[in-house]
Amino acid sequence: MRVLGIESSCDETGIAIYCQDKGLIANALFSQILAHQAYGGVVPELASRDHVRKIIPLLEEALTQANCQLADIDAIAYTAGPGLIGALLVGASFAKSLAFSLEIPAIAVHHLEAHLLAAQMENPAIQFPFLALLVSGGHTQLIWAKQLGDYELLGETIDDAAGEAFDKTAKIMGIPYPGGKALSELADEQAFQQSGLKPFPRPLLNRPDFNFSFSGLKTHCLYAYERSIQDDSAKKAIAYAFQTAVVETLVEKCRRAVVHTGATQLVVAGGVAANQTLRTQLHSIACDVYFPSLAFCTDNGAMIAYTGMQYLQQHQIDTDIAIQVKARWPLVKT
């Protein structure tokens, strides 16, 4: 069986094909970052229009990579939310119409669940139940993943997401959107030691719960930057102090959550899972820690195709012909 996966929730158009026997056989992606950079963030209408432009060429690219035709596809999975409503509608309309015309099932996929399962796609040793740290541009959550579709929220950010804080701190220092990755590459321990800066606060570590808060840390960076001489070494020092504070906070809360749940596996997901310092430091935790490869940390069609395959195997498919997407859609049922 082969599942075509379509991701269009934000500023990446991703189309991939996951095969039950061979695994991932195609993965085509187009990132719109350059189109949005001039505006300092994602412009929803531009994103929707670009998905419209790229979706068919990417489908053709994916079919070529997999050396197959539309007739060889058994189901079409698409991101049904959460995300930008117009962008989601492009992928959902395309996926459902194509599935209807091919007379094959369509499968609505939750974007965050797909992020959580991205590591499992590459590493079948990951088995439910597991502890998951979801760190993306829009979310920072600690989740007890019980089984497919069944997730318990242990804690989450009460303000900015980790990726959002990385991007906003980068912006404060004049690094173009989305500056998270560039900020982490700037971080330099030697510059920090020479700067005379004190370590930045580790937010909410004094509280026993699993919640996070990153907006104060971002403001702390703003003040530190305004007081500095704003040259390269000041940026490197602040980037280091900021990144160390975020990573140490995430790692310590994960350590406590492992003890609380008795988890033997910790799965890290979302764009910030690409952060090298986080990847290195999480290995100090007393359980098996899994990360997706860098290409599958940020948005992609492969995680949608893989998650769609899991639901197809359980015969959970869209039965309604209506095209429905959700801008807001909690992963955890309350």
**Interface stretch with ligand KG4, choices 35-43, 67-75, 175-183, 302-310 (CB under 6 A):** 175-183
What is the C-alpha separation between 127 and 13, in angstroms, rounded?
29
Between 15 and 66, name the residue whose CB sits nearer to Zn ion: 15
Binding partner of residue 50 among Zn ion, ligand KG4, none, CB under 5 to 8 Å per kind? none
Q: Which of 5, 81, 105, 138 binds ligand KG4 (CB under 6 A)?
A: 138
Instruction: Determine how β-strand 106-110 pairs with β-strand 2-7.
Output: unpaired
Q: Which of 275, 281, 307, 310 binds ligand KG4 (CB under 6 A)?
A: 275
Binding partner of residue 138 among Zn ion, ligand KG4, none, CB under 5 to 8 Å per kind? ligand KG4
Q: Which of 27, 32, 281, 298 binds ligand KG4 (CB under 6 A)?
A: 298
Among positions 132-161, residues that touch Zn ion (CB under 5 A) are 136
Between 105 and 308, name the residue whose CB sits nearer to Zn ion: 308
Residue given tokens 């990144």 in the structure block: 243
Least spacing, CB of residue 155 vs ligand KG4, in Å: 18
Measure the N-to-C terminal CA separation of the chain; round to a whole number of Å. Answer: 34
**304, 16 Cβ separation under 8 angstroms:** yes
Total residues in contact with ligand KG4, by rule CB under 6 A: 19
Q: Quote the longest CA-to-CA distance of the chain.
A: 66
What is the C-alpha separation between 298 and 260, in angstroms, rounded?
28
Least spacing, CB of residue 195 vs ligand KG4, in Å: 21
Q: Which of 299, 300, 305, 310 binds Zn ion (CB under 5 A)?
A: 299
Least spacing, CB of residue 79 vs Zn ion, in Å: 9
Between 164 and 299, name the residue whose CB sits nearer to Zn ion: 299
Tell me the one-letter amino acid at 14: G
Q: Which of 163, 292, 301, 308 binds ligand KG4 (CB under 6 A)?
A: 163
Least spacing, CB of residue 299 vs Zn ion, in Å: 4
What is the C-alpha separation between 250 and 111, in angstroms, rounded?
22
Query: Could you tell me which residues come within 8 angstroms of residue 210 by beta carbon, excluding any fewer than 6 positions away?
Result: 142, 154, 155, 156, 253, 256, 257, 260
**123, 290 Cβ separation under 8 angstroms:** yes
Query: Could you tell me which residues come within 8 angstroms of residue 63 by beta carbon, excluding any fewer than 6 positions away?
Result: 17, 26, 69, 70
Q: Which of 51, 181, 220, 253 binds ligand KG4 (CB under 6 A)?
A: 181
**122, 292 Cβ separation under 8 angstroms:** yes
**73, 4 Cβ separation under 8 angstroms:** yes
- Cα–Cα–Cα angle for 93, 139, 175, rounded to 5 degrees: 100
157 binds ligand KG4 (CB under 6 A): no
**Interface stretch with Zn ion, choices 49-57, 160-168, 174-182, 294-302 (CB under 5 A):** 294-302
Q: Which of 14, 155, 180, 203 binds ligand KG4 (CB under 6 A)?
A: 180
Binding partner of residue 142 among ligand KG4, Zn ion, none, CB under 5 to 8 Å per kind? none
Binding partner of residue 163 among ligand KG4, Zn ion, none, CB under 5 to 8 Å per kind? ligand KG4
* CA proximity to 3, closest of 68, 51, 61, 47: 68
Summarize as ranges the residues that interact with Zn ion (CB under 5 A).
136, 299
Interface contacts to ligand KG4, rule CB under 6 A: 10, 136-138, 163-164, 166-167, 178, 180-181, 184, 270-272, 274-275, 298-299
